Amino acid sequence: MSVEQDTKKVNPEVLVCPLCGEPNGCSYAAGRPHSECWCNRAVFPEGVFDPIPADQRRKSCICETCLDTYKKKTDQNKEPHS
């Protein structure tokens, strides 16, 4: 058996953030244990996945940068305006 046959084949699309198109850093999609993924320590606020077209949701993870950007934008909207 070749190494290629023995290795878990990964669809490259699951390694890309559906929002920005950059690598999403998903350990699980890359064939490593889910417990190693950055998303296990992250909090995903309600609405974070809304910008992703419905037919593309749950097919790949967003990246940590897009999650942080979303959180900053929503935090700014919560601040009282002077």
Phi, psi at residue 74, to the nearest 5°? -70, -35
Residue bearing the bigger pLDDT, 74 or 5: 74
**How many other β-carbons are positioned within 10 Å of the β-carbon of residue 40?**
10
**10 confidence band (pLDDT: 50, 70, 90):** low
**Model's pTM, two decimal places?**
0.74
Using one digit for the tens of pLDDT, what is the confidence trace for 29-70?
A: 888 998 999 999 999 999 999 999 998 888 899 999 999 999
Q: DSSP string spanning 14-74?
A: GGB-TTT-SB---TTTTTS-GGGSGGGG----TTTTTTS-GGGTTSSPPPHHHHHHHHHHH
Beta bridge partners of 23: 16
